[in-house]
Chains A and B, each alone.
Chain A
Amino acid sequence: MRIIDIYSKDGKKTIRAAVIGTCRLANPLLKLEKSECAKVIWEHSGFAHSIHDALQWISIITLEKEVPTELAPLIYGIPRDSLNRTKSKEHWQRGKELMESVDLFLVELSTRNRIYTDDFDFNSDYLTEHFVRPGGLALLDWWSKVCQGGSYSETDLEYLLESASKLHSGFPEHLESILSQCRRINEKNSQVLDAIEYLNHQITNSQCTIIANPDASNINFKSFLAHVSTETKSFRYLDPNVFIRDFEPAEVFMGEGKDKNHYSQSFELRMGEYIRDFIFSDIQCSALENKEEFITAKTIPNSPNGATLENKNVFFDSQGNEHITVQLRGTSINTQGWFRFSFKLGNGILDEQYSPILKDSTSKEFMQMNETLKNGNSSWDCIVWLDRRDEHFLEIKLKLNPSIEPRLKMMNIELESLEHSFQKSVFSVQESLNRFNPNLISEDTPLLEIELPDPTISNGTGGITLQGMSEEDKPNVEISIELRCESGEEVGIRLFNGHNWTAELAKTSVDFQKIVISEQIDNCTQQKPRINFFNYSKGTTIQIKDYSVGQYKH
């Protein structure tokens, strides 16, 4: 937590910012200070990950909440053997006074996970490093249970307390409350928003700017924040990926680009300047948008004269190769969904026996593309599901006619979002190597065809995941699904309720039939409830016409 005076690029203006977040926010601004573009005027160790960590920081610095020295390792990250580094009362008083003059709260949100007891929010990194790790297996098992939504019986808790007391002499006052009260919840977007509104209420004289974690796995959360910021203007929003995407990952992140939690040292100043320029601008929200554009193209094998992408056309060399793969790199997909990918090729370029096949980089299997002939050109298209991500890659495999021109042109490459189609977001599965591979086979009357995972290599535990449930939810669900198995195979249908499998609830038949499943979902865990298919042979496909899930909470 820092209070920093940040100077505009021309040095004529100053914004005083209360900076709450992690090293992804602190280090870039400290690099600005080294360049004399900012000055830290107050600081205290301690990173914040969640919006509740940030709210707690505001309570601490305004002296509304006092952190007992014993808990300093879990909130400030100060190692137990350095507790003499905690700051004096005068230092905190100074912080409180400076808060009165803050223009801007710059808050980084890295997670929706909240870890807390009745009185305190804990930073998960500090809790694991200073509390769980030194406590050995007993506390690791406890922490696993906390994270997985489990609970301890009173007897187990007493036993745990007794063994943990021997290991943790450092928490004489709070060991029991941590062990018995600590819980972890994964907040819904709306809960995070409520907390942001509460923060806004606390800081009426200052502006609030939220900066997101660049990690792509948070993109659902990030697109939600961007939307709310634009609509309500109650806070400004900055997604650093808008800046990052112009660089190679190895240039931006540590570990040669693999460690998305830490910016490389050489990139920190650039990020600091970017944040500074944003806060001095009038921009309300800077976030990635769906552009459905392709940025670069390359081929395998490599084109000797290079593959070039110009105005939706890719030019590449055939070089006498029988097979060639065209790889297209596209910009961010901010709203997941179905897209129609299409291109045109001059007649006679492809071997007539083989249609092009397409796959998105995260898919395991290629899909066959469909051909339409128009004005002497072949138009190829295919409907593909794309998840949210900062960039995407499509691969198209072509089998070429051997007697073609050496320089080829793939024309009119387009990726078009299909807005009102059957949602596929429910079709995530547990078996990563044996994914269901749903195809949207009819766009007008939505119909999904799914090839079930090969039962000889799959353990059969995947399925249609029930969305929208948070851990610890225990809803009654009513699932309505209209499906068939055209081959006539009687595929068994059952439900995984978060902990256990039901017996067979229904069987598919050759005609469409509507199946209604009413079940109570147990405490949701990390393993999501799902509708599962079993007792079928290899290559079985099912078709789904309609699907809905109603939830009724107790």
Chain B
Amino acid sequence: MNRQEIKDIIEKSIRNETEYKGDIDERMSAEEVEGWDSLAHVRIIFRIDHHLGTQIELNATYATTTIADLIDLFVNEVK
């Protein structure tokens, strides 16, 4: 699975869990996406996990700042 496909899954998961309808850009952080709170964060990660067949350590995701960081984390996870 390439980076773009992973990015699409992440974006879809973010929208699914936050109901966010605005533009999403890789440079954005969770704070910039309305509805992305600590509970939504866990659901976003679980949903990405479900689609990618991964089981990422949640603590690793707390150390990401932007959506781009999250994409890179999952790109490494599926390798």
Mutual binders A and B: yes
Residues of A within 8 A of B (CB): 111, 113, 124-125, 128, 132-133, 136-137, 140, 143-144, 147-148, 184, 217, 254-256, 258-262, 430-434, 457-459, 461-462, 525-528
B47 touches A430 (CB 8 A): no
Residue contact B23 to A434, C-beta cutoff 8 Å: yes
Q: Does B19 contact A (CB under 8 A)?
A: yes
Whole-angstrom distance between the alpha carbons of A196 and B67 in the complex?
37
A465 and chain B: residue at smallest CB distance: B34
* B12 at interface by CB-CB < 8 Å: no
Chain A positions within 8 Å of B75 at CB level: none
Contacting pair B33 A432 (CB below 8 A): yes
Indicate which residue in B17, B21, B40, B62 contacts A262 across the interface (CB closer than 8 Å): B62
Query: Residue B78 at the A interface, CB < 8 A?
Result: no
CA distance A343 to B19 in the complex (A): 43
From B20, B38, B39, B65, give the contact of A430 (CB < 8 A).
Answer: B20
Bound Cα distance from A23 to B64, whole angstroms: 20
Q: Mark each residue of chain B from 16 to 28: 1 if its CB lies under 8 Å from any CB of chain A, else 0.
A: 1111111101001
Some 30 contacts from A to B, beta carbons below 8 A apart, are: A124-B39, A125-B42, A132-B46, A140-B46, A140-B47, A144-B16, A144-B43, A147-B39, A148-B19, A217-B37, A258-B62, A258-B65, A259-B63, A260-B62, A261-B62, A262-B62, A430-B20, A430-B34, A431-B23, A432-B28, A433-B25, A459-B22, A459-B23, A461-B21, A461-B22, A525-B35, A526-B18, A526-B34, A527-B18, A528-B34
Known: A258-B65, A261-B62. A111 touches B38 (CB 8 A): yes
CB distance from B5 to the nearest CB of A (A): 19
Residue of B nearest to A216 (CB): B31
* Residues of chain B with a CB closer than 8 A to A147's CB: 39-40, 43
Question: Which one of B20, B32, B42, B63 lies within 8 Å of A527 (CB-CB)?
Answer: B20
Q: How many residues in B have their beta carbons less than 8 Å from beta carbons of A?
A: 29
Contact with A along B49-70 (1 / 0, CB 8 A): 0100000000100111100000
Contact between A258 and B63, CB atoms less than 8 A apart: yes
Partner of A133, one of B21, B46, B62: B46
- Please give the distance in Å from B57's CB to the nearest CB on chain A: 11
Using a CB–CB cutoff of 8 Å, the interface residues on chain B facing chain A are: 16-23, 25, 28, 31-35, 37-40, 42-43, 46-47, 50, 59, 62-65
Given A133, A217, A258, which contacts B64 in the complex, CB threshold below 8 Å?
Answer: A258
Chain A's nearest CB lies how many Å from the CB of B61?
9
**List of A residues within 8 angstroms of B19 by Cβ:** 148, 525-527
- Chain A's nearest CB lies how many Å from the CB of B40? 7
| Docked-complex contact A128 and B46, CB < 8 angstroms | yes
Contacts of A458 in B (CB 8 A): 23
> Chain B nearest CB: distance from A497 CB in Å?
14
Query: What CA separation (Å) do A133 and B45 show in the bound complex?
Result: 10
Q: Are A262 and B59 in contact (CB under 8 A)?
A: yes
B40 surroundings in chain A (CB, below 8 A): 147, 526
CB distance from B64 to the nearest CB of A (A): 7
A506 to chain B, nearest CB (A): 23
Are A256's CB and B39's CB within 8 A?
no
Closest to A256 in B: B63
Bound complex: CA A259 to CA B65 (Å): 9
What's the least CB distance linking A460 to chain B, in Å? 9
